[in-house]
Amino acid sequence: MQRIHTANELRSTLNTKSNIAFIPTMGNLHDGHIALVSLAKQHGECVVASIFVNPLQFGPNEDLANYPRTLEADCKRLADAGADIVFIPSVKEMYPDFDGEHLNQTMTITPPSIAAELCGASRPGHFAGVATVVMKLFNLVMPQVAIFGKKDFQQVFVIKELVRQFNLPIQIIAGDTVREPSGLAMSSRNGYLTPTQKSEAAQLHQCLANIVHAVKQGNTNFTVLENSASQTLAQQGWLVDYVSVRATDTLKPATNQDKELVVLGAAKLGSTRLIDNIDFCAK
Ligand code: PAF
């Protein structure tokens, strides 16, 4: 697997490649990412991954400085999984106006209004940061297919909108969430959990699964279900950000008419913010 650090080298290397499948990541790779590499191999002849901890998508009080950086282990995992190229740019390479501290002059993409809801409500600017870096990475890699994990359901939604609204000739594929045997969704942030918290962390998935079960049984009182799940989580010691049932095609709050649904949740266990979701058909 070739490691590339600059946009110029990436361009000249990819010039001769066709049918590129791309997996953007922030590193600290887990089995969920590796499953995306396998998916990429089914959809492209040249599999390119990127590792870039994007400062633009972190809020001032978030974990940018402490975000786990595990480059050597990540490269080994990508190579073992069959990736052909990994792009590992510096902040300056991605954001030419970065002065070592600030990204003030950086042009950004304004995501659709849904980006201000759910995770966007407590992480203002997050999806603008994601959309901007993904657009830049797409411009550099120029893939035919790009693969993202469904655990970040709202992120996938925003990226599909990016592709649709900017007419990008890229197919977006969402890979299923990979889970621990407990049901806990794999996430780089699970590494912040203590062993006790890790054993409790599947409660988030359990609460969402209970809602899916109730809706499938015909209970469409979404607000009651959401409030009761939030209450259960709070009683179990979580600081709940949101639990919300939405229509998958719009991400708007679900109505009785919607059949394709997704229940999404975000909550903090100690200081670790976890997210999860389950998409399902109501009947
Ligand atoms: O999901 C992630 O790891 C990041 O948000 C992404 C898509 C790589 C953009 O920085």
Listed in sequence order, the DSSP H helices in the chain are 7-14, 31-43, 71-81, 91-94, 119-122, 126-141, 153-165, 195-200, 202-216, 222-235
Residue nearest to atom 2 of ligand 1 (CA): 25
Residue nearest to atom 5 of ligand 1 (CA): 130
Helix-strand-coil split of the chain, %, nearest 5: 40, 20, 40
Ligand 1 atom at minimal distance to the Cα of residue 188: 3
Could you read off the pLDDT of 243-258 as tens digits, one per residue? 999 999 999 999 999 9
CATH architecture group of domain 2-175: 3-Layer(aba) Sandwich (3.40)
For residues 61 and 141, the model is more confident at: 141
- For 131, the token pair is 């959309």
- Whole-angstrom Cα distance, residue 195 to residue 252? 36
Arithmetic mean of pLDDT, 185-208: 97
Q: Write down the pLDDT at residue 101.
A: 86
Residue nearest to atom 8 of ligand 1 (CA): 25
Given a contact cutoff of 8 angstroms between Cβ atoms, the answer to whether 171 and 164 are in contact is no
Arithmetic mean of pLDDT, 33-38: 98
Pocket lining: 129 vs ligand 1, CB cutoff 6 Å: no
Could you read off the pLDDT of 7-34 as tens digits, one per residue? 999 999 999 999 999 999 999 999 999 9
* Full-model pTM: 0.97
Given a contact cutoff of 8 angstroms between Cβ atoms, the answer to whether 52 and 5 are in contact is no
Domains of the chain: which residue ranges?
2-175, 188-278
| Spacing, Cα 270 to ligand 1 middle (Å) | 23
CB atoms within 10 A of CB 57: 21
CATH architecture group of domain 188-278: 2-Layer Sandwich (3.30)
Pocket lining: 152 vs ligand 1, CB cutoff 6 Å: yes
Contacts of 221 (CB under 8 A, 6+ apart): none
Q: Is the dihedral of CA 153, 157, 160, 166 positive or negative?
A: negative
